A and B are shown apart, each in its own frame.
Chain A
Amino acid sequence: MTEEREALIAAVREFADAELAPNAARWDAEKHFPTDTLRRAGALGLGGVYVREDFGGSGLTRSDAVAMFEELAKGDTAIAAYISIHNMVAWMIDTFGDDVQRERWVPGLTEMTDLGSYCLTEPGAGSDAAAITTSASRDGDDYVINGVKQFVSGAGSSAVYVVMARTGEPGAKGISAIVVPDGTPGLSFGRNEQKMGWNAQPTRQVVFEDVRVPTTNRLGAEGDGFGIAMRGLNGGRLNIAACSLGGAQWALERALGYVRERETFGAPLATNQSIMFTLADMETELQAARALLERAAAKLDEGASDVVPACAMAKRFATDAAFNVANTALQLHGGYGYLHEYGIERVVRDLRVHQILEGTNEIMRLIVGRDLVNRL
C-alpha cells in the first residue's frame, strides 16, 4: 500500500472508530438513519470516492474505495453499505450525466448534504431486471413516470433518485435512467420495511404516480438505462463485498479476543485445537476474499475486458465467506454471541442481505457461468 493510501485509509479508520462504532448498536436498535453523521462522512470525502474532482469528488480509484469500505464496515456495516450505494448513485450521475446535470447534482451528493437512492428493483422484477414495468412516457419535453420501485435504500431521506424506467420496447434496450429529485409531485414512499438487519438505513418502496420531470433529467441517451444500471452495479458489488469483509473482519477480531479471554475446563478456549482450526479457516477465507476483491477492483480501474465476471466472482465469494465467518464468530462466543450487546449478532444480521442484493449470489453464478460457457 502506498503511503498516500495508508494515510487515506487511516483517516477512514479514524472516522469509523470515532463516529460509527460507538453508535452502531443504538442506530440498529432504534432504526435511526444518521444523516448528520453522513454529512461528516461527506466532509471527509466519502460522498464521491471515485467521482471526478471538478464537482467535489475525491477522484480516487476503485482499489482505494474497497479498502475504505472495508474500514467503514468495521465501524457499522449497515451505514458503510448505505454509503456504498450512495457512491454508486453519485458515480452514475458523474459518469453518465452531462456537465449541466453534474453541476446540478454532484456537489450536493459528494458533500452528502444530498443523499442518493438507486431505483431498479420492482415488486415483479428482481433478478430479472430487464423486465421492469415502471414507465416513463414522453409528453412534450417531459417524462411522466408511473410505477413502483421496491427495496430502495435511503428512500424517503434522499434528495436524488436515479430511476430505471421503461421509455421504449420491452427488454433491456427499452430502459432509460432518469433522475427524479425529491419533492417532485406524485413521488411518494412506502413504510420503512421491518427487516432482519440493515436497520440503520431505511428501506422503502418508492411510488411514482404521474411524476413529471423534464427529459433533460435523463442520464445518457434514451435506451441506455439498463447498461448504466449494470455498470453502476459492477462497482456496487465490489463495495458491498468490501462491506461484508469489514464486518466479518471485525467479528473475527472480537472472536479472537473472546477465545483468548474465555476459559473452559481450566484453559483458555484459544488453546483448544479445534478452535484454532476454526480461526485459521476464518482468516484464510477472508484473505482469499480480499485477494479476489482487490483483483476485481484493479480490473475495474484499468477497464479490463473481464471486469463483469471478476466483480461477480468477488461479490459472490466475499459475501458468502464473510457471512459464514461472522456466523462462526457468533458460535465461538457461545451464548454471548446471541446477545445484542456483543454486537456479533448484529453483524450477522447485517451481512445476510449482502448475499441477496446488488444481484443475488445466484445471479453472480449465472454471470460467471455464462461467461465461462460463452468463452468456448
Chain B
Amino acid sequence: MTDYPADAILVLLETSPTGELAKSATGLLGAAALIGTPVALAVTAPGRGDAQALAEQAAAAGAERTLVVETDAVQTQLTVPQVDALAAAAGAVAPDAVLISNSIEGRDIAGRFAARTSAPIAVDAIGVSRDDEGVVARHSVYGGAYNLESAATFGPLVVTVRQGAIESRAEARPIALETLELQASGAEATTIESVEAIEEASSRPELRGATRVVSGGRGLGSAEKFALVEELADALGAAVGASRAAVDAGYIPANHQVGQTGVSVSPQLYIALGISGAIQHKAGMQTAKNIVAVNKDPDAPIFEVADFGVVGDVFTVVPQLISALAERKR
C-alpha cells in the first residue's frame, strides 16, 4: 500500500486524441500545487505505451506521482471509464480536492463523479486557494461582472477549472508512475462509435453576442490595411467590428458596424483600433467589460471610455501586440 500525501490534490489529466498530455493539464497541476501536493491520474488505452510518456510530462509539470489506469473501455465508452478510474483513485488517495479541466469531457466526468461520491462540485473555477477550512474555488460570473468564491461544507471539493485561467506553474518533480487496477462499476455508458480529430475551427465568432470584439475605424486607411483588424481578431478568437466611418469608406461590409444604427455589443473585451469614438459608436459598445483603444489622436473621445488606451500608430502597436500574444501561446 502506497503512502499518499496528506494534502493530496487529485488531478485528472486530459489527453489529446493522439494520446498526448493536453495543454490544460499543465494549468491543473499548477493550480493543484498552489493548494497541496498534485497527484495525477491518467486513463489510457493499454498497449499504446502512453503511460510512461504521460507520467514524464506530468512530472515535468509538477505531479508528485502519476496514477495510470489502463482500460480498453476508454476508447468505446463515454465518461464512465474515467469516472470509474477517478473513483478508484480518490478512494486510494483520499484527496482534499479533485481538479478536472472545464472541458466538455471534463465536466461530464466531474458531474458523474460528484454525483456518484456525493461530493460537492464547483464549476468553471478561474482560481483555487486554500484557507483554514479547506480548498476554495474562485469564479467569475455574468460575463465577468461578479467574482464569487465557493467551498465544500466538508469533504473533498470537485473543481472544474476554466482552461487557460491558471497562470501558475508547478515545479518539475521526479517521475513516479503507479498503475492502478480498475474496478469497473458496470454503469451503463454511451457507446463511442467513431472518433475523428477536428481541425482548429478558423471561422470567426459572430459579432452579436461575441465575448471579444476587435473593431477598426477610418484610421486603418484602406480595405487592404483593415486586414490588420482581422489578424488581431483571429489572434484573440474575437469577432470583427467596425465604426460607421470604416463601413462608409468601404473597408468592411455594413453588418460589422457597431453603434447606434449598427450592432450593439457587450463583450468582455472590446478593442477599438483607429476609432475616434463618436457618440454614435460609443452607444453600441460602452457596456463592454473591458475596453482597449489605440488611436493617434490623444484627444479622441474613445479614450474617455477606454480602460487601457495607447496613443500611437495602429500599424506599429498592433503587430507588436499580435506577436506578443503569439509568443505567449508558445
Residues of A within 8 A of B (CB): 257, 261-263, 341-342
In the complex, B269 has a CB within 8 A of chain A: no
In the complex, B283 has a CB within 8 A of chain A: yes
Give chain A nearest CB distance to B75 CB in angstroms. Answer: 44
Which residues of chain B have C-beta atoms less than 8 A from A261's C-beta? 260, 279, 283
Q: Once bound together, how far apart are the Cα atoms of A342 and B260, in whole Å?
A: 8
In the complex, B323 has a CB within 8 A of chain A: no
In the complex, B261 has a CB within 8 A of chain A: yes
Which residues of chain B have C-beta atoms less than 8 A from A263's C-beta? 279
Q: Once bound together, how far apart are the Cα atoms of A102 and B261, in whole Å?
A: 45
The answer to whether B261 and A342 touch across the interface, beta carbons within 8 angstroms, is yes
* B interface, size bucket: under 10
Closest to A263 in B: B279
The answer to whether A262 and B279 touch across the interface, beta carbons within 8 angstroms, is yes
Cβ contacts A to B, 9 pairs, < 8 Å: A257-B283, A261-B260, A261-B279, A261-B283, A262-B279, A263-B279, A341-B261, A342-B260, A342-B261
Give chain A nearest CB distance to B108 CB in angstroms. Answer: 33
Q: Once bound together, how far apart are the Cα atoms of A126 and B12, in whole Å?
A: 81
Residues of B within 8 A of A (CB): 260-261, 279, 283
Which residues of chain A have C-beta atoms less than 8 A from B261's C-beta? 341-342
Q: Once bound together, how far apart are the Cα atoms of A263 and B304, in whole Å?
A: 14
Give chain B nearest CB distance to A184 CB in angstroms. Answer: 44
Q: Once bound together, how far apart are the Cα atoms of A272 and B216, in whole Å?
A: 34
Give chain A nearest CB distance to B200 CB in angstroms. Answer: 32
Give chain A nearest CB distance to B262 CB in angstroms. Answer: 9
Give chain A nearest CB distance to B299 CB in angstroms. Answer: 16
Q: Once bound together, how far apart are the Cα atoms of A341 and B261, in whole Å?
A: 7
Closest to A342 in B: B261
Which residues of chain A have C-beta atoms less than 8 A from B279's C-beta? 261-263
Which residues of chain B have C-beta atoms less than 8 A from A257's C-beta? 283
Give chain A nearest CB distance to B11 CB in angstroms. Answer: 45
Give chain B nearest CB distance to A17 CB in angstroms. Answer: 13
Q: Once bound together, how far apart are the Cα atoms of A65 and B261, in whole Å?
A: 30
Known: A257-B283, A261-B279, A263-B279. 6 other contacts (CB 8 A): A261-B260, A261-B283, A262-B279, A341-B261, A342-B260, A342-B261
Give chain B nearest CB distance to A20 CB in angstroms. Answer: 17
Q: Once bound together, how far apart are the Cα atoms of A257 and B282, in whole Å?
A: 13
Which 9 residue pairs of A and B lie closest in terms of their CB atoms, listed nearest first?
A: A341-B261, A261-B283, A261-B279, A342-B261, A262-B279, A263-B279, A261-B260, A257-B283, A342-B260
Q: Once bound together, how far apart are the Cα atoms of A263 and B260, in whole Å?
A: 15
Give chain B nearest CB distance to A29 CB in angstroms. Answer: 13
Which residues of chain B have C-beta atoms less than 8 A from A342's C-beta? 260-261
Give chain A nearest CB distance to B244 CB in angstroms. Answer: 9
Which residues of chain B have C-beta atoms less than 8 A from A341's C-beta? 261
Give chain B nearest CB distance to A183 CB in angstroms. Answer: 40
Q: Once bound together, how far apart are the Cα atoms of A263 and B283, in whole Å?
A: 12
Closest to A258 in B: B260
Give chain B nearest CB distance to A259 CB in angstroms. Answer: 12
Closest to B254 in A: A341
Give chain A nearest CB distance to B242 CB in angstroms. Answer: 15
Q: Once bound together, how far apart are the Cα atoms of A198 and B172, in whole Å?
A: 73
Closest to B257 in A: A341
Q: Once bound together, how far apart are the Cα atoms of A339 and B136, in whole Å?
A: 56
Closest to A262 in B: B279
Q: Once bound together, how far apart are the Cα atoms of A216 and B163, in whole Å?
A: 73
Closest to B286 in A: A261
Which residues of chain A have C-beta atoms less than 8 A from B283's C-beta? 257, 261
Which residues of chain A have C-beta atoms less than 8 A from B260's C-beta? 261, 342
Closest to B261 in A: A341
Which residues of chain B have C-beta atoms less than 8 A from A262's C-beta? 279
Give chain A nearest CB distance to B125 CB in angstroms. Answer: 36
Closest to B262 in A: A341
Q: Once bound together, how far apart are the Cα atoms of A328 and B279, in whole Å?
A: 22
Q: Once bound together, how far apart are the Cα atoms of A342 and B244, in whole Å?
A: 13
Give chain A nearest CB distance to B283 CB in angstroms. Answer: 5
Q: Once bound together, how far apart are the Cα atoms of A263 and B261, in whole Å?
A: 18
Q: Once bound together, how far apart are the Cα atoms of A103 and B281, in whole Å?
A: 54
Give chain B nearest CB distance to A228 CB in angstroms. Answer: 45
Give chain A nearest CB distance to B277 CB in angstroms. Answer: 13
Q: Once bound together, how far apart are the Cα atoms of A261 and B279, in whole Å?
A: 7
Closest to A343 in B: B261
Closest to B283 in A: A261
Closest to A260 in B: B283
Q: Once bound together, how far apart are the Cα atoms of A192 and B283, in whole Å?
A: 39
Which of A257, A262, A341, A342 has the most CB atoms of chain B within a 10 A radius of its CB? Answer: A341
Q: Once bound together, how far apart are the Cα atoms of A262 and B280, in whole Å?
A: 9
